[in-house]
Amino acid sequence: MTFCKTADEPFAPNMAEHYFRWAVDGSKWDVMKGWHVLRHSFISNLASRGVDQRVIIELVGHLNEETTRRYQHLLPNTIQSAMTVVFG
């Protein structure tokens, strides 16, 4: 199966969605609403491991920190862990 015409040609959005659905349909991942969820996971994992917000913004192309902060609520244990480091 060929995903794109040349190695340096990006997927068109509709093709990315097509291949995402092809990969997950009928699997336990079928509940995922779309490939964009992988972007959310990437950002959340970077943030949970303490990667600087400016680096995350650069990696994912957000225009400001507010957009990036929206992903941090997904990992509330990160806040609790930070408090435990300071206060035991």
Distance CA 35, CA 30 (A): 11
What pLDDT, on the 0 to 100 scale, is given for residue 5? 61
Q: Look at the pTM and tell me if it is higher than 0.85.
A: no
What pLDDT, on the 0 to 100 scale, is given for residue 66? 79
What pLDDT, on the 0 to 100 scale, is given for residue 24? 85
What pLDDT, on the 0 to 100 scale, is given for residue 74? 60
Distance CA 25, CA 47 (A): 29
Distance CA 51, CA 45 (A): 9
Distance CA 87, CA 77 (A): 15
Percent of the chain at pLDDT exceeding 70: 82
Give 57's pLDDT tier (boundaries 50, 70, 90).
confident
Q: Find the length of the chain.
A: 88
Closest C-alpha among 61, 31, 19, 29 to residue 43: 61
Percent of the chain at pLDDT exceeding 90: 0
Residue 37 scores a pLDDT above 70: yes
